[in-house]
Each structure stands twice: as C-alpha cells, then as structure tokens.
Amino acid sequence: MATPATIRTQAKTGGPETEAFEKMARRRFQDPTPRRRGKWWVIDIRRDVFVDGKHKRVQAPVRIAPADKSFREAQKISTEYLRPMNQQLESIGSATNFNHYVDNTYIPIVMPLLAKSTRDRYRGVIDNYLQPAFGKLCLRDLTPLSVQRYFSQMATSDLAHGSRDKIRDVLSSVMGSAVQYGVLISNPVENVRMPAERRGRTVSCKSYSDKPRKRWHSRSWTANSAFRNSGGASGIRTPDPLPARQVQPSSTKLV
C-alpha cells in the first residue's frame, strides 16, 4: 500500500488547470462606459491571462475610436467590440501558450495518428520554425494578420517554395486541431496567401526557337525521303523531288 510519502505530486506543466477553465467559462457581462484619453476613445475591459501557469484576471484600456467621434458612436463601437466576449464567442482556452499546447496536446494526441515519415517531417518544422516564431505567444495572438505577416516575410528568404508550403501546412494542422478541440473559434491559417515562387531567367524567343525549327525541318525531310525510297504505301518507288532552286533544262529550241 502506497504511503503519502511515496506518492509523487503531480508536476506542474506551466499551463492552465481544468478548474481554472471551468471558473473562467462562467458568463461575465461587460459594459464599460467609453472615455476620452488623449486623441482616442477608450474602454476598460477585463481579460483572462495566464502568468507562470496561474490564472489572472487583468483590466486594461483598449482604444476603440478616434476622439473626434461622438459619444453615441463610441458607445456603438464599444458594444460591437464586446459582443464576442459577452456572448462567450471568444474561447477561454485561446489564452493557452502555443508551446504548451503543442507539447501537451498536439504532439501526444494528434501526431500519433500520422504516418511515421509525416511525423518526422512535422516535428522538424515545429522545432525549427514554429516554436521559435510563435512559442511565446498565446493561441489567440495568432491572428490572420500576424500569420500572414509571418509568411509574407518569407518572400526574401532562401527557403524553397515547397518548404514554405510545408510550414504553412503544419501550422494549419496545429491551429486546426485547436479549433477541433474547442480551444479556438476559427483557424487563422485558412486564407493565408504564400509569396509567389521565384523562377529562373526567361529565354528570348529568338534563341529558343531557331535551332529547334531547323532540326525539325531536317528530321521531316529525312523521314519523307525514307518513306518515298521504300515505295510508300503503294510500294511504287518515286524519285526524290528536285531542290526548289534548281531549274530544269528546257527541251525546246529557239528558232
């Protein structure tokens, strides 16, 4: 029988605990009054964050409109901004750290379902590209704009076009699994566009087409000559035609 001294305590993974998720899932209606701050209308809203694996509820000002807007219009903008939070359309699990989700959810749950060669390639992309780029961010910080900016910067990189596509596929797989398991509402990688593939120097039409045309004429002349010498389809051998510039001697005499 195991004694309390021999039972190991559960290791802290650095991510939010289940109890914290349940507590945060309660409805928290927010309706702050807009106020002017410098050249902006701002509202004070509360957000759920995790610091060192511990849940905290912090309050911070958010700019919603320029100060030249009316108070009534600022109220409308505030209502539209807070609607996803008040209707619980913003997933609480989106506060999860990217590295924590990959190490504790994606790798142990999703990757075993893939083929071994695919797993090896995906793991290399995660270790060399995704975790260095997004490891310190929360999942909700990976917006369509931030993801598009990341791939647009690859236009000047030395990575091959296929490697860029693979990075996008792996990131889309990670974020898609977060949507599947209810951590995110949507996949920010779905409509991302990749930089155009760089191609080699274009060859001019003159240098590209002259020689093939000469080779084609010589081959067709050889083939026609061989066909006539063998008798053709009727078996009757026909003489080769005279060259175009050779003139036949006239048999008539001038009087």
Q: What are the residue boundaries of the structural domains of the chain, listed by start?
A: 25-90, 98-180
Contact 151, 168 (CB under 8 A): yes
Q: What is the DSSP letter of 13?
A: -
What angle, 0 to 180 degrees and rounded to 10, lies between the N-to-C axes of helices 161-180 and 144-152? Answer: 170
Instruction: List CB contacts of 216: < 8 A, sequence separation 6 or more.
Output: none
β-pairing, 40-51 with 54-66?
Answer: antiparallel
* Model pLDDT, residue 196: 84
Say what the pTM is. 0.52
pLDDT-flagged residues of the chain (< 70):
1-28, 48-55, 87-93, 198-255
* Helix, strand, coil in percent for the chain, rounding step 5: 50, 10, 40
Provide the percentage of residues in the chain whose pLDDT is more than 70.
59
Contact 93, 78 (CB under 8 A): no
Residue pLDDT, tens place only, 18-29: 455 545 545 467
Four-CA torsion 67, 73, 77, 80, nearest 10 degrees: 170
